[in-house]
Amino acid sequence: MTSVSRNKGVFDKMPQKIVCVGKLKEKYLKSAIDEYQKRMQRFGKLNIVEVPDEKAPQNMSDKEIEQVKDKEGEKILSKINDQDFVITLEILGKEISSEKLAQNIKDWTTYGHSSLVFVIGGSNGLSEAVMKRSNYALSFGKMTLPHQLMRVVLCEQVYRAFMINSGSAYHK
């Protein structure tokens, strides 16, 4: 019996979703995401849901920034169901290893969360409402990455987590 078949009941064809602000324009990033979506098919569909970003001037006041985050937050929340387990990407979230992310995904899905939703906010961050809805705040470190590149990094790490949980050598 292989590792894949041992975990099949938990990880077979489980839908995953990434909700993100803004449209991906760069072809090379789209290509990378398409590749990880294709690879993820053996575990389930990896859906990318884009919500429009709010047009905002460069030098906004703190109040204007909050208004933009609130509007984007409403759009994000409209894509999340009550039963979804929500993982937000936040600078102040928990920094964990790929192995720990894999273990968390395994635990979350084993204990009744069949639909995981990862959320990447806009350039101003996430609204309070989205952060309150979050079940887990995840950080990829204190460095700032372009949101479009963060999608690729997240897709790869989700794929890596499923490969770790299936016992694949991909992670090595």
Q: Which residues are annotated as a binding site for S-adenosyl-L-methionine?
A: 89, 121, 140-145
Q: Which residues of 66-101 are buried (b: 16+ CB within 10 A; e: fewer)?
A: bbbbebbbebbbebbeeebbbbbbbeebeeeeeeeb
Name the DSSP class of 122. Answer: B
Task: Provide the annotated binding site.
Answer: 89, 121, 140-145
Task: Determine the angle formed by the axes of helices 3-11 and 147-166, rounding to 10 degrees.
Answer: 120
